[in-house]
Amino acid sequence: MHMKKLWYLAALLLMVSCAPKGPVQLIFETDMGNDVDDVVALAMIHTYVQQGDANLLMIGVNKDRPTAPDYVRLMNEFYGRGEIPIGMVHDGAKEREDDFCWKTLRMTNEDGSPVYRLAPKTYEDAVTLYRKVLSKAKNRSVVIASVGFSTNLARLLESGPDGISSLSGPDLIKKKVARLVVMAGSFPESKRKEYNVDRDVPSAKKVFSDWPTDIWISPFELGDVVRFPATSVENDFAWAGGHHPLVDGYVSYLPMPYDRQMWDPTAVLCAVEGTSAFTVNGPYSIKIDDEGHMFHEDDPKGGRYILSVDDAQAKAVLDRIVSLATKDSRKK
């Protein structure tokens, strides 16, 4: 049989094999505040939860600014799911403090009263929360969608047995995690240091070399051609009856109108719905140099796959993202 046909059949089997069955047991890992695509991704997740397609077990925040987890909690409370546990990185990448999270949380009405009210909260260490959540999960059931820095995931890999679990980080991951989907990297390789990798290169190196399950990668090039329309931000959230944190964050991020790249939502789409909307390339092994450039090599046992889209797939992916993110998915 021709090699191209063999590759196609293998890719088709891969898509079928990683298509989720029942509600996905999901963990969302985010650098909320560095770009508004994280907000769209979280809105999508709330729709998946409302529809019974996913259970959101926890959210890990890998941006070390106090407004990042606060804004995540604001989104969760807006959708009626303030009980979702949030884990916070400590001594991680700081990044900008006066980002759209900070701006949105400081918004006031005409009379000077705050638009959004949040009670003060201290957030649990992300790695501790990961170990608690994973230790209680069914074997090979958890899907992690990581759309920020690799800090929390690398530290989970480095964690040892403790009072939560007798398993080391790698053993706990191998036992409990079905797959990891990440927004990271740039291909063709070495032309761009992609942001999520560049901000914590040592952690990214560790995750891509040592993570014991398969990894699906949604790279810069994929999200760059999938752009959320400003007209949707302006018109599709009227059901909120006033302020919506996604809309307020989006408007605060850049001068309107603008169509923003949807890097992170593509990873969430793959995590929950599987790979059928994408072209799957691989398997590969992944190497990252000291400057943050990512390289891939063919490797039958590499367990790393890179997603891509053609024009028709990009349009279908965008339509799906917009449909999910704009729904009224508040808990009924």
User: What pTM did the predictor assign?
Assistant: 0.93
- Characterize the bridge pairing of strands 24-30 and 142-146: parallel
In the structure encoding, which two tokens stand for residue 134, read together? 């994973």
The type of residue at 53 is D
- Residue 216's CB is within 10 A of a number of other CB atoms, namely 25
Domain map of the chain by residue range? 3-325
Quote the CA–CA distance of 272 and 218 in Å, as a whole number: 14
Contact assessment for residue 187 and residue 79, using Cβ atoms and an 8 Å cutoff = no
Per-residue pLDDT of the chain (332 residues; tens, 9 = 90+): 444 344 434 444 444 444 446 899 999 999 999 999 999 999 999 999 999 999 999 999 999 999 999 999 999 999 999 999 999 999 999 999 999 999 999 999 999 999 999 999 999 999 999 999 999 999 999 999 999 999 999 999 999 999 999 999 999 999 999 999 999 999 875 578 899 999 999 999 999 999 999 999 999 999 999 999 999 999 999 999 999 999 999 999 999 999 999 999 999 999 999 999 999 999 999 999 999 999 999 999 999 999 999 999 999 999 999 999 999 999 99
Type and span of the H or E element at 142: strand 142-146
- Residue 264's CB is within 10 A of a number of other CB atoms, namely 32
Contact assessment for residue 269 and residue 309, using Cβ atoms and an 8 Å cutoff = no
Contacts of 176 (CB under 8 A, 6+ apart): 134, 135, 137, 138, 139, 140, 141, 142
3-state secondary structure of 278: coil
Helix axes 311-325, 37-50, angle to 10 degrees: 70
For 49-90, give the DSSP string.
Answer: HHTTSEEEEEEEE-S--THHHHHHHHHHHHTT-TTS-EEE-S
Highest CATH level, class, for 3-325: alpha beta
Nearest CA to 29 out of 264, 329, 304, 327 is that of: 264
Q: How many residues does the chain have?
A: 332
